[in-house]
Structure 1
């Protein structure tokens, strides 16, 4: 069963369970995948679905930060619930310690010695750990390690 098929099946399960948050979030994800399929004119791939899931998670995380700053706790709770649904389908992200170890290993592997080469490090880190590493955290840790 592909990830897209799992999303579709889970929409039905959420409907049966009367879980409105999961149902609405999953419907939005399925619609986003179909929209991309139509726009690109290609078949749905796991990579496409994963990209859409990552974008949805990022959008919700940013919304949570903005709503928290604005004091909108009702919307914060809604976005957190939706983010929890989206994260069920994403691979486990590396924590800060694991990311730091990965960045340090890449710095040694690539022979990077100055902050000027952070772009090369970022490209390598994002390619090697695609989907499981946070780019902002990599950039922050790289800056610390190369300081």
Structure 2
């Protein structure tokens, strides 16, 4: 069962359970997936890798929105946004811990032969592909800067 089918099935389960947060979130995800499937050149298909990228984008947007709501003093809106993020994160692969991320990045830095901060682009190119879905881009970037400094 691919990600699109899983989301569709979970929408039914959320309806039965009367889980409004999950239902609203999953309907939004399905809408985004359908838009991606019907985009020009998509041939009415959506690979799981592309679906994961869309989910990661939605999670990042949700976290960013929640941070803005907190800055504005609207904790109620931030909580609602974070509840939706929690639903979305169930579909993402397990995120790497800081230690696991650092270990993987050290391997990549050694493979690429990076020694200074000027080599960050080379490292980020490889790291972004290898660690896609396992770690946030911002976390990867910060760790690479720290390791090359």
Interval containing the TM-score (normalised by the shorter chain):
over 0.9
- Are the aligned partners of 1:33 and 1:48 in contact in 2 as well (CA < 8 Å)? no
> Structure 1 stretches (4+) deviating beyond 6 angstroms?
none
- Choose 120-129 or 40-49, whichever is displaced more: 40-49
Counterparts of 1:106-121 in structure 2, within 5 Å, are 106-121=108-123
Counterparts of 1:1-147 in structure 2, within 5 Å, are 1-40=1-40, 41-42=42-43, 43-147=45-149
Q: String of CA shifts for 1:10-66, please: whole Å, max 9, x gaps.
A: 001000100000000000000110011111332121122111111111100111111
- Are the aligned partners of 1:122 and 1:135 in contact in 2 as well (CA < 8 Å)? no
Q: TM-score, normalised by structure 1?
A: 0.96
Q: String of CA shifts for 1:97-130, please: whole Å, max 9, x gaps.
A: 1111111111112110111110110110011121
Secondary structure of 1:39's counterpart equals coil
Gap runs ≥5 in structure 1? none
Gap runs ≥5 in structure 2? none
- Choose 98-107 or 22-31, whichever is displaced more: 98-107
Secondary structure of 2:38's counterpart equals helix
Q: TM-score, normalised by structure 2?
A: 0.94
2:52 and 2:71 mapped to 1: Cα distance? 29
Q: String of CA shifts for 1:70-98, please: whole Å, max 9, x gaps.
A: 11111011011000000000001111111
| Paired positions, count | 147
